[in-house]
């Protein structure tokens, strides 16, 4: 039992944090593959980034820190591989390829602990979505995921994931907040 706990929170590549079902999280809003997803929590919000590699999450942490007006101190309580913030209104941490930004009125560390405990290991990174040709013309998305966003193209009315004109890009988000991207050749 102790070994399993240690392995689940060891640095490395994780599946991510479930986008639904974590206590205290609201409905997810998916941003971009570079910025991750966000959710409301009591008194504020969280942003979660799951990258393909630890280096991607470390870069996201750097961008998050640079985006703050006042530069925060390193955290006095460390969750994961690195963390910063006061633990009250702000706490940002990275565990392997998962990075989390918590901004609340108070209790940021408690929210961060909940999210850190929710990190799951699981299946490999999702493959790029496939757009399959349809018999009557158009294209249909092979994998629907939890959320789908796209640029360009023309959706077929009342047929989610089906286009009459090929989109330029498609992003499919999975249950752990990992984006899989397709780009028109």
Whether residues 141 and 166 share a domain: the answer is yes
Whether residues 139 and 113 share a domain: the answer is no
Whether residues 102 and 18 share a domain: the answer is yes
For 56-75, write each residue's pLDDT tens digit.
999 999 999 999 999 999 99
For 95-142, write each residue's pLDDT tens digit.
999 999 999 999 999 999 999 999 999 999 999 999 999 877 899 999
CA distance 92 to 66: 12
Question: Would you say residue 54 lies in a domain?
Answer: yes
Domain C-terminal end among 93, 118, 143 = 118
Tokens of 149: 């966003």
- Candidates 30, 16, 50; CA nearest to 172 is 30
Question: Would you say residue 13 lies in a domain?
Answer: yes
Question: Would you say residue 153 lies in a domain?
Answer: yes
CA distance 15 to 59: 18
DSSP type of residue 18:
-
Whether residues 21 and 99 share a domain: the answer is yes
Whether residues 27 and 106 share a domain: the answer is yes
The number of folded domains in the chain is: 2
Residue 93: which domain range? 2-118
For 13-49, write each residue's pLDDT tens digit.
999 999 999 999 999 999 999 999 999 999 999 999 9
Most distant pair of Cα atoms in the chain: their distance:
61
Question: Would you say residue 125 lies in a domain?
Answer: no
Q: What are phi and psi of 37, to 5 degrees?
A: -130, 165
The reported pTM is 0.90
CA distance 76 to 98: 20
């Amino acid at each position: 039992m102790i070994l399993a706990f240690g392995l689940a929170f060891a640095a490395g590549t994780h599946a991510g944090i479930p986008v639904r079902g974590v206590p205290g999280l609201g409905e997810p809003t998916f941003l971009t593959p570079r910025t991750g997803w966000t959710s409301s929590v009591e008194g504020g919000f969280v942003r979660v980034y799951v990258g393909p590699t630890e280096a991607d999450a470390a870069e996201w942490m750097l961008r998050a820190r640079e985006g703050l007006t006042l530069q925060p101190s390193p955290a006095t309580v460390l969750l994961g591989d690195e963390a910063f913030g006061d633990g009250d209104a702000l706490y940002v941490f990275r565990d392997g390829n998962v990075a989390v930004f918590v901004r609340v009125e108070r209790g940021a560390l408690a929210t961060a602990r909940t999210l850190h405990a929710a990190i799951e290991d699981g299946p490999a990174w999702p493959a790029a979505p496939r757009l399959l040709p349809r018999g009557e013309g158009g294209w249909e998305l092979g994998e629907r995921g939890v959320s789908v966003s796209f640029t360009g193209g023309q959706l077929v009315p009342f047929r989610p994931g089906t286009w009459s004109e090929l989109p330029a890009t498609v992003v499919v988000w999975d249950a752990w907040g990992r984006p899989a991207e397709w780009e028109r050749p």
